[in-house]
Amino acid sequence: MNNITDVSISEIEQEIISEFELFEEWSEKYEYIIELGQKLPALDAIHKKEENKIKGCQSSVWLHSSTQNGVIRFEADSDSTFVKGEIALLIRVLSGQKAEDILQAELGFIDVIGLRQHLALTRANGLASMIKQMKLYALAHQSQHTS
Closest C-alpha among 98, 75, 97, 99 to residue 87? 75
Q: Which DSSP state fits 47? A: G
What's the min distance (Å) between Cβ of 79 and another protein?
A: 6
Q: Which is nearer to another protein, 65 or 125 (CB)?
A: 125
Q: Which is nearer to another protein, 117 or 144 (CB)?
A: 117
List of residues contacting another protein (CB under 8 A): 25-27, 30-31, 34, 57-59, 79-83, 118-119, 124-125
What's the min distance (Å) between Cβ of 20 and another protein?
A: 15
What's the min distance (Å) between Cβ of 82 and another protein?
A: 5
Alpha-carbon gap, residue 64 to 48, rounded angstroms: 8
Q: Which is nearer to another protein, 26 or 143 (CB)?
A: 26
Q: Are 38 and 81 in contact (CB under 8 A)?
A: yes
Burial 74-108, CB ≥16 within 10 A → b, else e:
bbbbbebebbbbbbbbbbbbbbbbbbeebeebebe
Residues noted as catalytic: 57
